[in-house]
Amino acid sequence: MRDGQSATETVSRLDPQMAAAMDKMAEIAAALPPMPADPSLAELRRQMVEEKRFWNDDAPNLHEVVNASLPGLIREVPVRVYRPAPGDDLPGILYFHGGGWVKGSLDTHDRIMRLLALASGAVVLGVDYALAPEHRFPEPYEESIVVVEGVAGAADKLGIDPGRLAVSGDSAGANLALAAAIDLRDRRPGLIRAAALFYGVFDSDFDTASYREFGDGRFGLSREEMIYFWKKYARTPDDLTDPRAAPARAALNRLMPIFLAAAELDVLRDDTMGLAERLGSAGVPFELKEYPGVCHGFLGLTRMVDKAVNAIEDAAAFLVRHL
């Protein structure tokens, strides 16, 4: 909570389950060793893993979960394969995790991917893409494209149907998923059949209505944090407006059907709303759902927040219709 913002006003905007989850997150953070004033990247990444541990506990069992890798441009890219049921011709969904391009991992988003696999009946392939700033734009973007093509090329080995591939992701992961889909629309038409994007970073405009309203961070992600993430991801200021890094600025015509999920109390809400408007103008079929009373990152709170489960199920139903 910030100056001028009463506790009553803040709580009144939150879904009750979201409010309880925020209390739980504060409790978890308070129990961890204090972070230094200027934490290192390693400390930030380790802290996120510890903060997400509770939220990934008690994860549902699947038919099979295996770690694999696919060739990338600069390294072997770790991929985790979530198979909900037997079969060698299931649809495939490549999932790119959030974390501002700087942190996050397959472990921090494990429960999300398990639930998406169960709800969709598809094999979910979690992509552990290269993180910034060790790997700045365009390396994560280029790696994401190579991995999608690699999954299609290794479909027989992975036990998926190469004719039924989708991409998905949250936050920075949604950015990479959309950017890869735009590139492959032109070079490999029809390769990606659908996309499901959760509260993505689609532009670098820090002066939208949602940035102005929620940028102080009282509901979690702040404007200051987003500027920090962009500075770690971009090489130069020009990268912030490169359509490959800010895919809402790209030509969006002829894209595959897209499911968009927005959190009401999120600085990035209007990234999704703006993208939806541009998709509509471009004639792209899409479904937009805004989940009231929840904050950025709510998808990972399925142990306490029903709307997180709903969002995964809504996205899964959309993907099933289009795969």
Choosing from 128, 266, 270, 271, the catalytic residue is 266
Q: How far apart are CA 70 and CA 151, in angstroms?
A: 8
On whether the CB atoms of residues 127 and 95 are closer than 8 A, the answer is: yes
Choosing from 109, 135, 296, 322, the catalytic residue is 296
Question: What is 206-222 written as a DSSP string?
Answer: TTSHHHHHHTT-TTS--
Choosing from 105, 144, 168, 171, the catalytic residue is 171
171 tagged catalytic: yes
Q: How far apart are CA 168 and CA 200, in angstroms?
A: 10
Q: How far apart are CA 306 and CA 104, in angstroms?
A: 23
The helix-helix angle for 306-322 and 16-31 (nearest 10°) equals 110
3-state helix, strand, coil in the chain (%, to 5): 45, 20, 35
109 tagged catalytic: no
Bridge partners of residue 83, in order along the sequence: 64
266 tagged catalytic: yes
Smallest CA-to-CA distance from 214 within 174, 268, 276 is with 268
- What residues are annotated to the active site? 171, 266, 296
